[in-house]
Amino acid sequence: MKILGISFGGKNGSNDAMCKEALKAAQEMGAEIEFIRPLELDLKPCNGCVACVKKLVQGRNPQCIIQDDFPWLDDRIASADGIVIFMPIFEKGAPASFKILQDRLAGPSHDKAFLKACKQISEKTGNEGPDVRQMRDDIPVSFVMIGGSDWVTRVATDAKLFAMTPEWKIIDEIVFPWSKAIVAEDEKVAQCRQVGVNMVKALQDPASATYLGDPGVCPNCHSRNFYLNNSITEAVCEVCGLIGELKSVEGKVSFEFPAEQIKHAHNTVSGKFHHLDDVKGNEMKIAELRKTESFSRRMAEYRDFIQPSMPTA
């Protein structure tokens, strides 16, 4: 049983310490452990080149073409049975280093529906197909988010969205406000330790492994963040995309949505295939547009209008 701990915090700061607390507990229960700090690695941001998508549609392994430490990290993650992620809260949400990894690891190249489609194509074309380790179901992941104040209201959404694309199964999800000195707070340290224990238990008994985080408001994905669209009266769950009504029930906010919508929820394989079909249809339209003279002319005009400023040596 291999448990990988990833800390996005400053070197030897609160997140590193609490991640190690969870790993220590897991090791004491017999797990093999590994600790990684993405800030120590050369990880470049996704530049949207879509080389991964081009490989996906040919049934080839959608490995990223950027030359950096990502292939190594991707392999470490694919080799882990369970993952515990600790991150500081920046501007109420996830730090940039987390977002960089999210774009590289939780974009199209690791989307469960895209990978399944890629596998089917590979069986026809004879190409190598995706890394099957990335197609495993319900890889357990826990998120712990540590903030220095009470500005913490967006970060759990970032965590949920990270897990949504590869369809990882969230076990613990804990947000700690006002926790800059968390190492001195015994109760919180014990909660971080429990994250390691819960991960081992989830791996020992996957059938009983269940979400242990904040129940939230969305009954489907536990989110507390909703998008309020002026053109409709409903609210959109920011994580799973369900459209429903926010109501007050017995003095508490409740989110209700038509049951048939669940098949389109973004955290389900059917919802992901729905999205894949939408994207495919749109790409086909765009491909036709790109062939037109007016499209090329417009793009060329913008390209030639002004060049980006750069620092001089």
Ligand X SMILES: Cc1cc2nc3c(=O)[nH]c(=O)nc-3n(C[C@H](O)[C@H](O)[C@H](O)COP(=O)(O)O)c2cc1C
- What is the binding site for ligand X (CB under 6 A)? 9-10, 13-15, 88-92, 146-149, 151-152, 177, 180
In angstroms, what is the minimal distance from the CB of 194 to ligand X? Answer: 19
Q: How many CB atoms lie within 10 A of CB 176?
A: 20
Task: Say how far apart CA 158 and CA 162 lie, in whole Å.
Answer: 6
| Strands of the 243-249 sheet, one edge to the other | 226-228, 235-237, 243-249, 252-256
In angstroms, what is the minimal distance from the CB of 46 to ligand X? Answer: 21
**CB nearer ligand X, residue 148 or residue 219:** 148
Number of separate helices (H) and strands (E) present in the chain: 9, 9
**CB nearer ligand X, residue 177 or residue 206:** 177
Q: Are strands 235-237 and 243-249 parallel, antiparallel or unpaired?
A: antiparallel
Query: What is the DSSP track for 61-84?
Result: -------SSHHHHHHHHHH-SEEE
In angstroms, what is the minimal distance from the CB of 39 to ligand X? Answer: 9
**CB nearer ligand X, residue 155 or residue 163:** 155
Question: Which residues are paired to 145 by β-bridges?
Answer: 87, 175
DSSP 223: -
In angstroms, what is the minimal distance from the CB of 292 to ligand X? Answer: 45
**CB nearer ligand X, residue 10 or residue 45:** 10
The encoded tokens of residue 202 equal 């989830």
In angstroms, what is the minimal distance from the CB of 91 to ligand X? Answer: 5
**CB nearer ligand X, residue 20 or residue 222:** 20
Q: How far apart are the first and last CA of the chain?
A: 51
